[in-house]
Amino acid sequence: MWKRTLAIFLALVFLFTTVLSIDALADIENAATESAVTTETEIAETEDSNTENPEVENAGTENADTENTDTEDSNAKNTDSESKENADAENKDTENVDTVNTDTENAVTEKALIDNDVQLLGKQYKLTILISGWGDVEKKPGPNLLTGKYNAGTVVKLWPEPISILGYYFAGWDPNYTVPEKVSDYYTVKMDSDITVRAIFSNTVRLEISKEGNGTVRPKEGTHTYYYRDKVTLEATPAKDWKFKGWYTGPDFQTLYSTNSNIKVTMDSNKAFKAVFKPSKYTLVVNKVGLGTVSPDVGTHTYNDGTKVNLSATPAEGWQFEGWLIGDSTVPNKEITSITMDSDKTITAVFSLIPKTYYTLTVEIVGEGTTDPEEGESSYEEGTEVQLSAEPA
């Protein structure tokens, strides 16, 4: 901009200088004309004077010649002055032309720099927000005011703003577009391409009810629709020999919400609950392997939920107790232990023979006779008492 202003200023100076030069030339011409008229008048007067005074004719002629010479010198000086001024004016014109040319070059250079700046901005991409329901989405930062687009790489945060006074809430981002997951807060997108997202605002919410075990629930199992912020009562009733454990929610229903069978929930978002029932009684099946006695006896037994049952195992003679097999786990070398009946269980007591040590008895005969045991090798269990007898021949 300053270069353009300078160019205009120099152009005005050039025009002003040109006008002054023209006025100066006009003044010089007028002065030369007046000087010539004055000289002619003086010559005429001198001639008249010489006619009346012949004595001074020669002198007057000489003076006239001198004056003519002076006039010629004056005209020559005036001509030199005019030439000099014209030359100066031409030089100024040349300088002004150079200045205008320089300014034009600067303008071209400035335009090139601007073009380069535009190219350095890089690509721009468009962010399109589609709205379902009553609400809006705030974008930070906003797009370029001229193009309505974002520079490549710009990170934009999106804030959903439901019109809650009309009962609307933010239900999530449409999974068919670039933001698949549902969120309750802002979402961030990076402008590396043209992006379209859809924000869904709704005034209805879904309630999913399921159950585990034997019992009934209200509302019944399935998906139900309510208006935003409706209050809904959940009821759970266990079947005979069953009891209610609790309402569970969250991913895979691993989070305990309440142990009360009847609860009220406010439907301010989509919700899902599972009623979990468990038996009030459980069975314990007792088995054994090998010889020995167990308590409880071998067979099936019924216990209330949470009952602690003591187990004992006694091996028979020559047998030893290896341990309890409870489900897939082994409790080794414990003749007495206990379990809590929080589910149906099967246990097995494992007995095994005690390993025995045997020794070899070797009998030799020298001479004639018989022995008991007979001559040779015999094997006996460790601790066995052997009677020996010998009779001569």
* pTM score of the predicted model: 0.43
Give the list of residues 6+ apart from residue 141 with CB closer than 8 angstroms, or none: 154, 156
Q: Alpha-carbon distance 90 to 17, whole Å? A: 10
Using pLDDT thresholds of 50, 70 and 90, give the confidence band for residue 35. Answer: very low
* Residues paired with 235 in a beta bridge: 218, 262
Lowest mean pLDDT among 82-86, 192-196, 329-333, 366-370: 82-86
Most confident of 97-106, 141-150, 290-299: 290-299
Give the helix, strand, coil percentages of the chain, each rounded to 5. Answer: 30, 45, 25
**Phi-psi label, residue 250: left if phi above 0, alpha if psi -120 to 50, beta otherwise:** left
Looking up tokens 């605002």 gives 201
DSSP output for 163-219: -GGGT-EEEEE-TTSS--S--SS-EEEE-SS-EEEEEEEESEEEEEEEEESSEEEES
Q: Is the pLDDT of residue 138 over 80?
A: yes
Q: Is the pLDDT of residue 128 over 50?
A: yes
Tell me the two tokens of residue 149. 């687009």
206-234 b/e with 16+ CB inside 10 Å = b?
A: ebebebebebebebeeeeeebebeeebeb
Question: pLDDT value at position 338?
Answer: 87
Share of the chain above pLDDT 70, in %: 66
193-250, pLDDT tens digit by residue? 999 988 888 888 899 999 999 999 999 999 999 998 899 999 999 999 999 999 999 9
For the four alpha carbons of 215, 219, 220 and 225, in that order, the dihedral sign comes to: negative
Q: Alpha-carbon distance 202 to 320, whole Å? A: 71
Q: Is the pLDDT of residue 166 over 90?
A: no
Question: pLDDT value at position 379?
Answer: 87
Taken as a whole, the chain contains a residue count of: 393
Mean pLDDT score, 41-52: 40
Lowest mean pLDDT among 3-12, 61-70, 82-91, 155-164: 61-70
As a whole number of Å, the end-to-end CA separation of the chain is 148
Question: pLDDT value at position 122?
Answer: 76
Q: Is the pLDDT of residue 32 over 60?
A: no
Tell me the two tokens of residue 356. 């025995």
Q: Alpha-carbon distance 188 to 245, whole Å? A: 41
Share of the chain above pLDDT 90, in %: 38
Q: Which of 372, 351, 376 is closest to 363 using CA atoms?
A: 376
DSSP output for 16-78: HHHHHHHHHHHHHHHHHHHHHHHHHHHHHHHHHHHHH-GGGHHHHHHHHHHHHHHHHHHHHHH
Lowest mean pLDDT among 52-56, 141-145, 198-202, 331-335: 52-56
Whether the Cβ atoms of residue 179 and residue 192 lie closer than 8 Å to each other: no
61-115, pLDDT tens digit by residue? 343 343 433 434 444 344 444 444 444 444 444 444 344 444 444 444 444 444 4
Mean pLDDT score, 282-311: 94
